[in-house]
Chain A
Amino acid sequence: MRATVLVRPKPGILDPQGEAVQSSLRQLGFAVEDARIGKVVDLELDGNDLEQARAELERMCEQLLANPLIESYEITVAPE
């Protein structure tokens, strides 16, 4: 099955990349109030137990994919 993990800098964490992109978008004439940049991790997993996959993805995020101190994460998983 396929899963996607979105990792974002937590609110209040300085995101200089987001700030640079926001200011560039404004220079292009877009009325952008804020921009934050995170990461997307696409994963392919063995098995078809959705609940088990979700639990494992949770552990992957806590142990490696995100640094819980500074990043939040969002998991989506769907059977193929």
Chain B
Amino acid sequence: MTEPQPQIAVVVFPGSNDDRDAALALGGLGAEPVLVWHAEPDLPDVTAVVLPGGFSYGDYLRCGAIARFAPVMDAVRRFAADGGLVLGICNGFQVLCEAGLLPGALRPNDSLSFICRDVPVRVERDGTPFTSLCERGQRLSIPVKHGEGCYFADEELLAELEEHGQIALVYEENPNGSAAGIAGVLDEAGTVFGLMPHPEHAVDPLLGSTDGALVLGSLVNAARERLLAAA
């Protein structure tokens, strides 16, 4: 019997530029990606949503600040509130923070430089829908490419994140000044995840690393389990 292919929405904002890479990677990992335009008021029948990287709305005002008002974001908010799986990559992470679906904010890199290179990150939290294929402490090599990836959380919020196990990925060598070296953070329920590194750019040996497939593959597996549970 062939395994069922979960449908996963990849939202396309004006200025998204990793939407097709994300869709390609998800497709290669056994999902059926569905591109969804930002003006759509509803999501199709999907079991997970990915907000891709890019420069939605030109990053005007603050990265992600305008995208959060896109019609599709109301649908994403409802989907997340119902326990749906939502993954934000880079700009998608910024959008989720601006939308209040994830805690914290992303600020310009402390170096002021745009960083584009593979970085080592460590898995702090395994067993989530986004890290089930990883082990705690595992070191992944995944590229970052951002100018505003400096994660900010004040001390109170950091303590909360630690207490609730929401810090899922940390940089081994902090490239951007992120608080506590945070590279990826979960919401309290553990069903919404945002990260600055681009797992969709690390799914093929030709790209130098396949570690991104562990993150996206975890999501595809979790989506498939939900599909089977609902059947």
Give A residues with C-beta under 8 Å from B. 9, 12-14, 16-17, 20, 39, 64-65, 67, 69-70
B105, B110, B154: the one contacting A67 at CB < 8 Å is B105
Contact B150 A67 (CB under 8 A): no
Chain A residues contacting B111 (CB-CB under 8 Å) are 16
Contact B65 A70 (CB under 8 A): no
Chain B residues contacting A9 (CB-CB under 8 Å) are 107
Contact A70 B112 (CB under 8 A): no
Contacts of B151-187 to chain A: CB distance below 8 A = 152, 154, 177
Contact A67 B109 (CB under 8 A): no
Interface centre among A9, A39, A64 (most CB of B within 10 A): A64
Give B69's nearest chain A residue, CB to CB: A64
Docked CA distance A67–B105 (Å): 8
Interface: B19 (CB within 8 A) = no
Distance to closest chain B CB from A15 (angstroms): 8
Give B157's nearest chain A residue, CB to CB: A69
Chain A residues contacting B152 (CB-CB under 8 Å) are 13-14, 69-70
Contact B105 A69 (CB under 8 A): yes
Contact B61 A64 (CB under 8 A): yes
A14, A20, A67: the one contacting B98 at CB < 8 Å is A67
Chain A residues contacting B62 (CB-CB under 8 Å) are 67
Docked CA distance A37–B109 (Å): 15
Distance to closest chain A CB from B8 (angstroms): 29
* 17 contacts across the A-B interface (CB closer than 8 A): A14-B107, A14-B110, A14-B152, A14-B177, A16-B108, A16-B109, A16-B111, A17-B112, A39-B61, A64-B61, A64-B69, A67-B65, A69-B104, A69-B105, A69-B152, A70-B105, A70-B152
A14, A17, A65: the one contacting B61 at CB < 8 Å is A65
Contact A17 B98 (CB under 8 A): no
A12, A13, A20, A39: the one contacting B112 at CB < 8 Å is A20
Distance to closest chain B CB from A72 (angstroms): 13
Docked CA distance A69–B98 (Å): 10
